[in-house]
């Protein structure tokens, strides 16, 4: 129950606001992109 409360009170609002700015997961393909590679940095 506490988990669901936390989800709807915090995660949902934060998630919706985030997605107004940009999709944090980049869920859609981008046909115009030449490549999806991300340059890797040493950890």
The count of chain residues that interact with other proteins, using the rule CB under 8 A, is 32
Compute the residue count for the chain.
43
Q: Is residue 37 involved in binding other proteins (CB under 8 A)? A: yes
CB of 40 to other proteins, least distance (A): 4
Three-state SS for 12?
helix
In which region does residue 40 sit, left (phi positive, over 0), alpha (psi from -120 to 50) or beta (all else)? beta
Q: Say which DSSP state 30 is in.
A: -
Q: Is residue 20 involved in binding other proteins (CB under 8 A)? A: no
Residues that bind other proteins (CB under 8 A): 3-4, 6-8, 11-12, 14-16, 18-19, 23-31, 33-43
């Amino acid at each position: 129950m506490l988990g669901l409360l936390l989800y709807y009170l915090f995660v949902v609002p934060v998630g919706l606001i985030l997605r107004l700015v940009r999709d944090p997961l980049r869920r859609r393909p981008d046909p115009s992109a030449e490549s999806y590679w991300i340059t890797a940095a040493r950890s």
